[in-house]
Structure 1
Amino acid sequence: MAMHTGFSFLQVFSVNFEMFTALYTLVGMGHISNYVAAFVLGTEILSKSIRIIFATLGVCIFFAFGFMLLPLFAYFIRDWRMLLLAITLPGVLCGLLWWCIPESPRWLISQGRIKEAEVIIRKAAKINGIVAPSPIFVPNELQDVSSKKPHSHHIYDLIRTRNIRILTIMSIILWLTISVGYFGLSLDTPNLNGDIYLNGFLLAAVEVPAYVLAWLLLKHVTRRYSMAGSLFLGGSVLLLLQLVPSDLIYLSTTLVMVGKFGITSAYSMVYVYTAELYPTVVRNMGVGVSSTASRLGSILSPYFVYLGAYNRHLPYILMGSLTIMTAIITLFFPESSDVSLPDTIHQMQEVKRIKRRHSPRQKQVIKNVVKDTPES
């Protein structure tokens, strides 16, 4: 947060575009690192029911509120230096949260720091009016964990085994394509008919009901079907845009808003889904690598928008097709609903695979092989 706010403040005093861009790179590094780390921290601290609310109606919906304020600030503050200063100063207040937010007990336990974790758990129990058991950890388990040297994990742990390697590749594809659709539609605002400030506000405002939908789906529907359904909605609507006559301006704008609605809903759920699939020991790295793929998608998204100069519907066709493809890939992810958060790589669920159907002749051969195989 210090990196994000500090370099953003220095941007105000940029003397040329090169200095502005270099500082903006550092701002972006601090911003997304802070966002991912804060999300993972909240995921590991909070219980499952509160975790879903935190991820959707907490983190994401306030992101939407900030997004809605941006065109409002830009409308009244036309000087870029003053606008940048106005949206940077509130970040200073986040420094006060250092004394309010505890460390993740799950992470502390994975590092063998049991006593620190117990202090945090007892404090949480006291705040919530709950009597914590004494002791919280079984003495034998406490001794075993304390005696073990904490195992350090590295980025290559995300591809060490076949299962986690497939999950990582699928997550990268999922995050990248969702990001292309989300940022592509967000950056396409000037190409929509009407006032750019109003369109920017509407594209931000449509995210609020999208996050509410995400919360309801995560609460009542399985993760895979929630994600796939939202992506199918967003992708299908974007593909329909090419069938709308050019003179039906309001219908086209409405379909773009619906497409943004579906993709945004999936974007908020992917954080929860990914964090639940990766184990504690590599959760921050797993979400971080996936988020890095998302940044690559955001880098590519302007070029999708620029294709509109050649064909107005081409960006929507490409983004819609990618979104539909991602929805299909999502169906092969393991389900994390009603499953405890994994702490180690061995506790991870297996990625679903396509089962090959055998012909009647192949089935008979298999039966004969099994029949003739001696029992061991």
Structure 2
Amino acid sequence: MYDYDQVTAFLGKWGPFQRLIFFLLSASIIPNGFNGLSAVFLAGTPEHRCRVPASANLSSEWLNNSIPLEERDGRQVLSRCRRYRLEALAHFSATNLEPGRDVNLSQVEQEKCLDGWEYSREPYLSTIVSEWDLVCDNDWKSPLTTSLFFVGVLFGSFISGQLSDKFGRKNVLFLTMGIQTGFGFLQIFSTSWEMFSILFLIVGMGQISNYVAAFVLGTEILGKSIRIVYCTLGVCIFYAFGYMLLPLCAYFIREWRMLLLALTVPGLLYIPLWWFIPESPRWLLAQGRVQEAEDIIRKAAEKNHVTAPDVIFDPIKVQDLNSQEQQTYSILDLVRTRNIRSITIMCVILWMVISIGYFGLSLDTPNLHGNVYINCFLSAVIEVPAYTISWLLLQYLPRRYSMAAVLFLGGCVLLFIQLVPTYLSVVSITLMMIGKFGITSSFSMVYVYTAELYPTVVRNMGVGASSMASRFGSILSPYFVYLGAYDRFLPYILMGSLTVLTGILTLFLPESYGAPLPDTIEQMLRVKGIKYRSASKSQRRLKYGEENSVILKNTSL
């Protein structure tokens, strides 16, 4: 068997070449952090109420009482979507009647905001919500905007792997970074919500494709020992750094078009990386471009100050490897037997719920008590220890119990939020951050755990199917946040309950820690709690007869 890692072992594990690739590819993930969650501020909903035009000719007293009160979060506040009928108020004002004393306001007819809305300038100067009045009857458009971004992520997941397999990891990486930056820049000139949303969808396609290309390129260039650190800490930590930059930029730039400009321009800084990041030698070998792959490894040897052998890749061995026929498997193999079918269903549920919890909590930070920018920054900072803890758990503890523990932690604290009095806002925010810590830890661990459960022959398809379920979860997550408009604690109750139930479900998955990776479906670890039938007598008899015939044949030879 042709072993790429063994052939390139002379480069060493952590030389200047590996360090350069590690940090440059990790840095390419930073824009994904602030672009992926930019809707938190771009689509933020400021306080608003119905506009009362000056042509209504109302006295100052009636103007101050033109908006009815409604109960929200246990408080009496001005209605966002209704006002008293202006014709009636103008009549009362003209006849010098006083509100509350001469007129019972509860009996005055109400109407919709026929003249638009007045928006608070705090904490946002403008958002797409205030730009295109995405409130009241149109408030469904705000979560749909974010969902369309994740629809783009879904489409990008479909095509990114195929594009990188056909055109190369490096080409797709820089192409999709250009798409993310270019179409993000075009969003600044949006003239309607529809135009903004369509462009946002395309940005989502570029965002995930860039992420996947960088992820694959790093795993294929770096050695085994560095590969694990890159996948768990490198990519994830730099994504969190990008996430931290989002509230910092939004704090100083509170107009959505200028904020979007500040978030897209840094993409131009990555153009020079084209001359520093090489193509994947593994991909070049798979394409039969042996000389190009060898040139890259020789340059890497020069950077690491080591001497490369005269012939690194034997063209004949590479050609023989690529010409070998491999048995093909289809998506149906993920549900063919009871065991793999159970694992597939459980992984799909697991990924979807984790994605709902992660993006739901990330998008809900503007609705928390306190400063929206500080809350968002804390939500980003908490991811750094979460990724670090998940890496340590993967190194030293069983997968099943580690996953269940962090899911139980995240889910239970979210359920406790509803028990905290409203005046203890700091406690509520702390519990929310602990919940985000648990769910983020599980998000980092589930990639490795899922890859270990599936056999080599269908591992890519298994992880891909689970990842697709995650995309559907991210599409649904804005609507969990949207439910908070009806009941402030409903999103936390739903996300907490689903997370706890998923933690219980995880306990039924097989334990993969310390076990060799399965190569075939028959070698897969068994799901707990399922009875597996032994082979029937006829099957055992047939197998016994086949073994005897093989023995007789061998002895006759």
Category of TM-score, reference length = shorter chain = 0.7 to 0.9
Q: Match for residue 216 of structure 1?
A: 392
- Any conservation in 2 of the 1:214–1:269 contact (CA below 8 Å)? yes
Q: Match for residue 250 of structure 2?
A: 74
Q: Match for residue 305 of structure 1?
A: 481
- One-letter amino acid matched to 2:349: I
- One-letter amino acid matched to 1:21: S
Report the Cα offset of residue 119 of structure 1.
Answer: 4.8
- One-letter amino acid matched to 2:407: L
The reply on whether 1:43 has 2:219 as its aligned counterpart is yes
Structure 1 residues 4 and 212: CA distance shift in structure 2, 3 A: same
The reply on whether 1:102 has 2:278 as its aligned counterpart is yes
Q: Which runs of 5 or more residues in structure 2 are unaligned? A: 1-176, 546-557
Separation of aligned partners in 2, 1:96 and 1:164: 45
Q: Match for residue 373 of structure 2?
A: 197
| Structure showing the higher helix proportion among its residues | 1
Q: Match for residue 183 of structure 1?
A: 359
Separation of aligned partners in 2, 1:327 and 1:333: 14
- Any conservation in 2 of the 1:229–1:327 contact (CA below 8 Å)? yes
- Structure 2 residue corresponding to 1:84, chosen from 244, 249, 260: 260
- Any conservation in 1 of the 2:342–2:527 contact (CA below 8 Å)? no
- Structure 2 residue corresponding to 1:254, chosen from 430, 434, 447: 430
Q: Match for residue 335 of structure 1?
A: 512
Q: Match for residue 156 of structure 1?
A: 331
TM-score by length of 2: 0.56
Separation of aligned partners in 2, 1:154 and 1:289: 14
Separation of aligned partners in 2, 1:125 and 1:280: 31
Structure 1 residues 296 and 81: CA distance shift in structure 2, 3 A: same
Q: Which runs of 5 or more residues in structure 1 are unaligned? A: none
- Any conservation in 1 of the 2:452–2:512 contact (CA below 8 Å)? no
Equivalent pairs counted in the alignment come to 363
The reply on whether 1:232 has 2:408 as its aligned counterpart is yes
Report the Cα offset of residue 234 of structure 1.
Answer: 0.9
The reply on whether 1:353 has 2:527 as its aligned counterpart is yes
- Any conservation in 1 of the 2:354–2:443 contact (CA below 8 Å)? yes
- Any conservation in 2 of the 1:177–1:326 contact (CA below 8 Å)? yes
Separation of aligned partners in 2, 1:154 and 1:11: 41
Report the Cα offset of residue 313 of structure 1.
Answer: 2.8
The reply on whether 1:15 has 2:191 as its aligned counterpart is yes
Separation of aligned partners in 1, 2:320 and 2:491: 57
Structure 1 residues 148 and 231: CA distance shift in structure 2, 3 A: same
Report the Cα offset of residue 65 of structure 1.
Answer: 1.5
Report the Cα offset of residue 56 of structure 1.
Answer: 3.0
- Any conservation in 2 of the 1:44–1:106 contact (CA below 8 Å)? yes
Query: Which one is further off, 98-107 or 232-241?
Result: 98-107
Report the Cα offset of residue 164 of structure 1.
Answer: 6.1
> What are the superposed Cα offsets for residues 10-60 of structure 1, whole Å, 9 maximum, x if unpaired?
111111111111100000111112212322332333233322321233111
> What are the superposed Cα offsets for residues 323-376 of structure 1, whole Å, 9 maximum, x if unpaired?
123233434156265756x8xx64896143225579xxx9xxx9xx9xxx9986
**Which structure has more RCO (C-alpha within 8 Å, separation ≥ 6)?**
1
Structure 1 residues 284 and 72: CA distance shift in structure 2, 3 A: farther
- Any conservation in 2 of the 1:334–1:350 contact (CA below 8 Å)? no
Separation of aligned partners in 1, 2:216 and 2:377: 29
| Secondary structure at 2:229 match in 1 | helix
| Secondary structure at 1:15 match in 2 | coil
Superposed, 1:132-151 pairs within 5 Å as 141-142=317-318, 144-148=320-324
Separation of aligned partners in 2, 1:274 and 1:349: 15
Q: Match for residue 159 of structure 2?
A: none
Separation of aligned partners in 1, 2:282 and 2:421: 55
TM-score by length of 1: 0.80
The alignment-based identity, stated in percent, is 62
Separation of aligned partners in 1, 2:287 and 2:327: 8
Query: Which one is further off, 165-174 or 77-86?
Result: 165-174
Q: Match for residue 271 of structure 1?
A: 447
Separation of aligned partners in 2, 1:132 and 1:313: 62
Q: Match for residue 350 of structure 2?
A: 174
Report the Cα offset of residue 77 of structure 1.
Answer: 0.8
| Secondary structure at 1:239 match in 2 | helix
Q: Match for residue 54 of structure 1?
A: 230
Report the Cα offset of residue 165 of structure 1.
Answer: 5.6
Separation of aligned partners in 2, 1:165 and 1:123: 46
Report the Cα offset of residue 205 of structure 1.
Answer: 1.5
Report the Cα offset of residue 154 of structure 1.
Answer: 8.6
Separation of aligned partners in 2, 1:251 and 1:183: 21
| Secondary structure at 1:352 match in 2 | coil
Structure 1 residues 112 and 285: CA distance shift in structure 2, 3 A: farther
Separation of aligned partners in 1, 2:290 and 2:333: 26
- One-letter amino acid matched to 1:350: M
Report the Cα offset of residue 201 of structure 1.
Answer: 1.3
| Secondary structure at 1:34 match in 2 | helix
Separation of aligned partners in 1, 2:311 and 2:456: 23
| Secondary structure at 1:311 match in 2 | coil
Separation of aligned partners in 1, 2:180 and 2:526: 39
Separation of aligned partners in 1, 2:429 and 2:290: 55
Separation of aligned partners in 1, 2:437 and 2:320: 49
Report the Cα offset of residue 230 of structure 1.
Answer: 1.8
Separation of aligned partners in 2, 1:124 and 1:164: 41
Superposed, 1:20-39 pairs within 5 Å as 20-39=196-215
Q: Match for residue 6 of structure 1?
A: 182
- One-letter amino acid matched to 2:512: E
- One-letter amino acid matched to 1:72: L
- One-letter amino acid matched to 1:223: R
The reply on whether 1:315 has 2:491 as its aligned counterpart is yes
| Secondary structure at 2:480 match in 1 | helix
Separation of aligned partners in 1, 2:375 and 2:241: 15
Which of structures 1 and 2 has the bigger CA Rg? Answer: 2
Separation of aligned partners in 2, 1:261 and 1:182: 9
Report the Cα offset of residue 301 of structure 1.
Answer: 1.4
